[in-house]
Structures are given as C-alpha cells and as structure tokens.
Amino acid sequence: MRVSERTRQRVAALAASTNQQMQTIIDEAVEAYERELFWRGFEQGYEQLADDPDGWDAIEAERSAESPALRDGLERSHLAAARYG
C-alpha cells in the first residue's frame, strides 16, 4: 500500500507517541473510518425516513407495539421483587 510521505510521517509520529506499530495505527484508523461511515449512513437513513411520513408512521407503530416489552413502566418494587424474590 502506498501512502504520501506526509501520511507516512504522521502515522510514524502517532506510532511513536502511542508506542504502537505503524500497522496498528493504520488498522485502527481504518476501523474508525468504517464506524464513521456506518453511523453517517445510519443518520442519513433516519433523515430520509423523517422526510417520509408513511415510513415514519410505520416506525412509530413498530415502536408502540414493542413498548409493552420494555421495563420503563414497571414500579421499582416490582423490579426488586423480580430480582430478589
């Protein structure tokens, strides 16, 4: 893999300052970039969904159907009884 001299120097400086190998720095940078792209796509999908009233209504209906399964509405005493008998 070829990189610019500037990038090689930056990676070398990061490796030296973190006491890691240059390969590790590059591996972690690629992983971080993949995560960033994933979350950008995720956010873009929600933005598109918010612009689609029918799609957004479907999401809200799904959330409403799932909400009884959540513990949000339980009293603390019920949770304690369930945990500790």
Domain ranges of the chain: 1-43, 52-85
Q: Is the pLDDT of residue 72 over 90?
A: no
Q: What is the DSSP letter of 72?
A: T
- Distance in angstroms (rounded) separating the CA atoms of residues 15 and 34: 20
Q: pLDDT at position 69, please?
A: 72
- How high is the pLDDT of residue 16? 98
The pTM (predicted TM-score) of the whole model is 0.64
* More confident site: 84 or 64: 64
Q: What is the pLDDT of residues 13-61, one digit of tens each?
A: 999 999 999 999 999 999 999 999 999 999 999 899 889 999 889 988 9
Torsion angle of C-alpha atoms 77, 83, 84, 85, degrees rounded to 10: 80
